[in-house]
């Protein structure tokens, strides 16, 4: 049974795109979140974990303040580790 589960997991991951696999691997990582306006980065945050998204916003826990933060607009999100 253990071998079947491992085989099914490997099969599922093989069918994922690189982006899907990276998304799965990013849980527990920190991210740099940059807010852009007029072609300029106007604010930079570091998350303490995964960055989530809802309809028009991105949300995360800000490492500098320890507070829940939500941003919208043009955002660049980069995995740090």
pTM of the model as a whole: 0.67
Q: Structural domain tally of the chain? A: 1
In whole angstroms, give the CA distance from residue 70 to residue 81: 21
pLDDT at 55: 87
Instruction: State which residues form the domain around 52.
Output: 2-79
pLDDT at 41: 96
The yes-or-no verdict on residue 15 having pLDDT over 50 is yes
How do residues 27-76 score in pLDDT, each as one tens digit? 568 999 999 999 999 999 999 988 999 888 999 999 999 999 999 999 99
Which is nearest to 13 in space by CA: 24, 2, 28, 3? 24
């Amino acid at each position: 049974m253990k071998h079947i589960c491992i085989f099914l997991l490997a099969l599922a991951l093989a069918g994922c795109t690189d982006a899907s696999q990276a998304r799965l691997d990013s849980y527990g990582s920190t991210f740099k979140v940059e807010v852009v306006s007029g072609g300029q980065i106007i604010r930079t945050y570091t998350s303490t974990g995964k960055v989530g998204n809802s309809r028009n916003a991105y949300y995360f826990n800000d490492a500098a303040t320890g507070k829940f933060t939500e941003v919208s607009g043009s955002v660049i999100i980069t995995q740090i580790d």
